[in-house]
Amino acid sequence: MSDVLVRLTAAELGLMEHYATEKLASFASVGGGRSQFRGADRQATVSEDGMTGMAANLAGCKWLLGTALGRFSFCASRWAAGRAPHNGDKGCDVPGSNIDFKATLMRTALPFDGYHLPVRPKERHPGAVYVYILVEEGFQACHIVGWASDEELPAEPEAEGVFKGAYLQRRHLLHPIPPFHWTL
C-alpha cells in the first residue's frame, strides 16, 4: 500500500500555530483537556498533539480539495471548532462532510506498516470515514496512508496496551488512497 505525501509550507505552519494557540487557550480554560492515549505527560504534550492534529487536518484538506480550497476548508473547520471548543467537531474535519482525519506523530523508526488507525469511542460517528495520516516530526510532511469507514472498525476495542479502549484498525486493512491529484 502506498501513501500520499503532502508537504506543508512555512506559511501553513504559521496558520496551524494560530489555530493551535486558540485550541490551547480553550484547553487551559477546562483544566488542560484529557487523552485516552496519554497519561501523566498530557500537559507536556498537549501542544504537540494539537499541532499533529492541525497538520493532518490541513494536509487532508489540501489533498482532498487542492491547495487554495484546502486552506480555506481548513480555516473554516477550525473556525467552527473554535466556536464550540468543548463539543468537538463531531467527526467533521471538512465542513459539510463525513470525513474525520486521524493523525499520529511519527516518533520512532517504526515502519509505516507498524502504525494503525486508532479511533476512541467518543470520536466514533455513524457513517464517518476516517482518513489516517502519519505526521513527521516538524509537522511539514504528512503521509496519508489509508481510510476506513466507521462500519469497518473492529467490533471490540483494544483490551490492553497503549491503545486500550480504542478501536484499532490494522494498517493492512485500510483502503488505499485514490490516485487523484490537483493541477491548480
pLDDT in tens, 109-133: 888 888 999 999 999 999 999 999 9
Say if 183 falls within a structural domain: no
Say if 182 falls within a structural domain: no
Say if 147 falls within a structural domain: yes
Q: Give the residue from 95, 107, 37 showing the smallest Cα distance to 46.
A: 37
Backbone angles phi, psi at 89, to 5 degrees: -100, 5
Say if 32 falls within a structural domain: yes
At 174 the pLDDT is 96
Say if 159 falls within a structural domain: yes
Report the alpha-carbon distance of residue 13 to residue 9 in Å, rounded. 6
CB atoms within 10 A of CB 104: 19
Average pLDDT over residues 40-64: 83
pLDDT digits (tens, 9 = 90+) for 53-89: 999 999 999 999 999 999 999 999 988 887 777 676 7
Say if 115 falls within a structural domain: yes
- What's this model's pTM, rounded to 2 decimal places? 0.87
Backbone angles phi, psi at 172, to 5 degrees: -70, -15
Say if 18 falls within a structural domain: yes
pLDDT digits (tens, 9 = 90+) for 12-24: 999 998 888 876 6
Structural domain of residue 71, as residue ranges?
Answer: 4-173
> Is 102 exposed, middle or buried, given 0-12, 13-18 or 19+ CB atoms closer than 10 A?
buried
Report the alpha-carbon distance of residue 158 to residue 179 in Å, rounded. 32
Partnered with residue 149 across adjacent β-strands are 129
> Is 50 exposed, middle or buried, given 0-12, 13-18 or 19+ CB atoms closer than 10 A?
buried
Say if 179 falls within a structural domain: no
What is the number of structural domains in the chain?
1
